[in-house]
């Protein structure tokens, strides 16, 4: 049976961690406190089983993180837009990653239409995706496969929304003339294996439809 930490244990664990970090490098926290220059903006799900720093073996200062239920990129969400603006204008991140995960409660709840209140409103786009891709989803062998595929479709849809954010559009257009612009990626974490799936984005389709500039390069 899994052990869950008590509140007091969290504080004690933090103290032990700080002591261990200082023992290995007495300037660790001095350097950490001076500035941050992460190369990645990570937009992920709030799910407690997705500690992205642990899964990617990254240290504090390497990821700028924004999380919400089912990793939504909603173009009216001031919280997300502020995080994106700060990441690209102040931190000048080199990559922006939208990361979903299989066995996502937000995906399942939207698919089964059993979320209510603000949760239902927040995941309304996932319900739309379920309807738009109904034929593809229904062709899959079982519900697990359908939910997995809907998770992937959701990530791709949210990456597409990133391309519609005005600050990102501006940076890409300027960057194509020789300047800086961030590269956008879609991931899905498989909680059953611990592995990240780097999704292939339909960039050519998006370029043909004017969502992405024709000479945008993924890497």
Euclidean distance between the first and final Cα of the chain, in Å? 44
Contact 98, 78 (CB under 8 A): no
Beta-strand runs (E) in the chain: 40-45, 63-68, 95-101, 183-190, 195-198
CB atoms within 10 A of CB 58: 14
Q: Examine the residue annotation and report whether 101 is marked as an active-site residue of this protein.
A: yes
Q: Which of 66, 101, 146, 185 is catalytic?
A: 101
Tell me phi and psi for residue 25, to 5 degrees: -150, 105
Which of the following is catalytic: 47, 66, 146, 185? 47
Has 99 been annotated as catalytic?
no
Active site residue 104: yes
C-alpha R_g of the chain: 19
**Strand pairing of 95-101 and 40-45?**
parallel
In the set 66, 99, 104, 148, the catalytic residue is 104
Q: How far is CA 168 from CA 21, 86, 100, 175, in A?
A: 37, 12, 21, 10
The catalytically annotated residue of 5, 12, 25, 49 is 49
Residue 170 among the catalytic residues:
no
Which residues are designated catalytic?
45, 47, 49, 101, 104
């Amino acid at each position: 049976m899994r052990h869950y930490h008590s509140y007091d244990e969290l504080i004690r664990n933090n103290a032990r961690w700080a002591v261990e970090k200082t023992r290995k490098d007495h300037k660790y926290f001095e350097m950490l406190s001076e500035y941050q220059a992460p190369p990645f903006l990570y937009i992920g799900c709030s799910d407690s089983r997705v500690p992205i720093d642990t899964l990617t073996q990254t240290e504090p200062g390497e990821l700028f993180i924004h999380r919400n239920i089912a990793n939504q990129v909603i173009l009216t969400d001031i919280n997300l837009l502020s995080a994106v603006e700060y990441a690209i204008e102040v931190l000048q991140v080199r990559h922006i990653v939208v990361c979903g995960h299989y066995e996502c409660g937000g995906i399942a709840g939207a698919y089964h239409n059993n979320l209510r209140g603000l949760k239902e409103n927040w995941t309304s786009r996932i319900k739309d995706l379920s309807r738009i891709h109904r034929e593809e989803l229904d062709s899959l062998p079982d519900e697990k496969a359908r939910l997995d595929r809907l998770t992937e479709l959701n990530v791709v849809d949210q990456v597409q929304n990133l391309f519609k954010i005005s600050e990102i559009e501006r940076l890409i257009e300027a960057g194509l003339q020789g300047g800086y612009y961030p590269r956008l990626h879609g991931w899905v974490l498989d909680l059953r294996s611990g592995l990240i799936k780097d999704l292939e984005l339909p960039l050519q389709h998006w370029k043909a439809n004017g969502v992405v500039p024709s000479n945008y390069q993924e890497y």
